[in-house]
């Protein structure tokens, strides 16, 4: 159980284009999803917390107009990197948390999306 | 700013030995603690969670928590080369967020 998928797994795009990444919880309903970014040899950096049906909460220093997050259902959250630039090249990872009733606050991670902006 | 500290390593152990990974955290009120394993180029995968003081065992893995000392550790018995990875300690905070340590690189030599 507790499987999270991400699509695409890898994307290469030209500078200035927008890229959408999907995160799905396959066998459970996720009230909360999280988006992380990881640069080489660094730990995970939380970008934003996404709650179903409400606006995402962004961490300090993360541009909400550049990284658009939508959590339209209990199994799907999307991250859109708008007007991507080479410095946005990174490994983007989502995680999902079980519904709160009787569940722990364990986060289950998707396989990640490697974004390369040329 | 809540912090989670880990020795970056690398920690090298021979195959079959016990690997001991340590983590300290700054927020005394933290209640949930997690160990994740991350292979190079992959996303983290959950190894164990622990919420109460003491030991929690799952197969070859044992998590140890000491809230008074703000210390959590992970022991890996009978280490295998396939255990070579980066181990991330994470501490839960308000809002269900996790604060991650920088990770400890473990190398198990055959």
Among candidates B42, B49, B100 on the partner chain, residue whose Cβ is nearest the Cβ of A43: B100
Residue B42: closest CA among chain A residues belongs to which residue?
Answer: A111
3-state SS string for chain B: CCCEECCCCCEEEECCCCEEEEEEECCCCCCCEEEEEECCCCCCEEEEEECCCEEEEECCEEEEEECCCCEEEEEECCCCHHHCEEEEEEEEECCCEEEECCCEEEEEEC
pLDDT at A103 over 70: no
Inter-chain CB proximity B97 and A49 less than 8 Å: yes
Out of A22-31, A86-95, B62-71, pick the least confident: A22-31
Split at pLDDT 50, 70, 90, the class of A1 is low
Cα–Cα distance between B89 and B98 in angstroms, integer?
Answer: 10
Split at pLDDT 50, 70, 90, the class of B94 is confident
pLDDT at A102 over 50: no
Out of B8-17, B25-34, B59-68, B93-102, pick the least confident: B93-102
Among A96, A95, A90, CA closest to A11 = A90
Tell me the pLDDT of chain A averaged across its residues: 90
Percent of residues, chain A, with pLDDT higher than 90: 69
Inter-chain CB proximity A104 and B101 less than 8 Å: no
pLDDT value of residue B16: 97
For A55-75, what is the mean pLDDT? 92
Q: CB of A69 within 8 A of CB of A77?
A: yes
Q: CB of B30 within 8 A of CB of B91?
A: yes
For A54-69, what is the mean pLDDT? 93
Main-chain dihedrals φ then ψ at residue B30, nearest 5 degrees = -65, 140
Among A45, A5, A42, A11, CA closest to A24 = A5
Inter-chain CB proximity A112 and B49 less than 8 Å: no
Inter-chain CB proximity B101 and A44 less than 8 Å: no
For B13-18, what is the mean pLDDT? 98
Of B46, B63, B96, B101, which to mutate for an interface test with A (greatest number of A Cβ within 10 Å)?
B96
Report chain B residues whose CB lies below 8 A from the CB of A93. Answer: 43-44
pLDDT at A101 over 50: no
Q: Tell whether B42 is within 8 A of chain A (Cβ).
A: yes
**A101: CB partners within 8 A, 6+ apart:** none
**Higher confidence at residue A40 or residue A115?**
A115
Among A89, A60, A94, A96, CA closest to A79 = A94
**B76: CB partners within 8 A, 6+ apart:** B18, B19, B20, B21, B60, B61, B83, B106
Indicate if the alpha-carbon torsion angle B30, A79, A87, A109 is positive or negative: positive
- Read out DSSP for A35-91? EEEE-TTS--EEEEEEETTS--EEPTT--TTTEEEEEEETTEEEEEE-S--GGG-EE
pLDDT value of residue A17: 97
**Alpha-carbon distance B43 to nearest alpha carbon in chain A (angstroms):** 5
Among candidates B49, B51, B103 on the partner chain, residue whose Cβ is nearest the Cβ of A43: B103
Report chain A residues whose CB lies below 8 A from the CB of B46. Answer: 106-109
Q: Tell whether B49 is within 8 A of chain A (Cβ).
A: yes
Q: Tell whether B98 is within 8 A of chain A (Cβ).
A: yes
Of B44, B63, B95, which to mutate for an interface test with A (greatest number of A Cβ within 10 Å)?
B44
Split at pLDDT 50, 70, 90, the class of A94 is very high
Taking only the tens place, the pLDDT of each residue in B32-89 is: 999 999 999 999 999 999 999 999 999 999 999 999 999 999 999 999 999 999 999 9
Residue A10: strand pairing partners: A114
Q: CB of B74 within 8 A of CB of A14?
A: no
How many other C-beta atoms lie within 10 A of the C-beta of residue B46?
16
């Amino acid at each position: 159980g507790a499987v999270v998928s991400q699509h695409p797994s890898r994307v290469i795009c030209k500078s200035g284009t927008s890229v959408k990444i999907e995160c799905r919880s396959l066998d459970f309903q996720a009230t909360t999803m999280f988006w992380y970014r990881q640069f080489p040899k660094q730990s995970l950096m939380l970008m934003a917390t996404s709650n179903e049906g409400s606006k995402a909460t962004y961490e300090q220093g993360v541009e909400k107009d550049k990284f658009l997050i939508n959590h339209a259902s209990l199994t799907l959250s999307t991250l859109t990197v708008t007007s991507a630039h080479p410095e946005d090249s990174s490994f983007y990872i989502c995680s999902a948390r079980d519904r709160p009733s009787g569940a722990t606050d364990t986060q289950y991670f998707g396989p990640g999306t490697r974004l390369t902006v040329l | 700013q809540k912090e989670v500290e880990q020795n970056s390593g690398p920690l090298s152990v021979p195959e079959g030995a016990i690997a001991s990974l340590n983590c300290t955290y700054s927020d005394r009120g933290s209640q949930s603690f997690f160990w994740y394993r991350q292979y190079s180029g992959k996303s983290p995968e959950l190894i164990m969670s622990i919420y109460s003081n003491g030991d929690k065992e799952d197969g070859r893995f044992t998590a140890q928590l000491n809230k008074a000392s703000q210390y959590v550790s992970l022991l890996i018995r009978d280490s295998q080369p396939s255990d070579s990875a980066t181990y991330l300690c994470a501490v839960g905070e308000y809002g269900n967020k996790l604060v991650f340590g920088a990770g400890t690189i473990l190398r198990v030599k055959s």
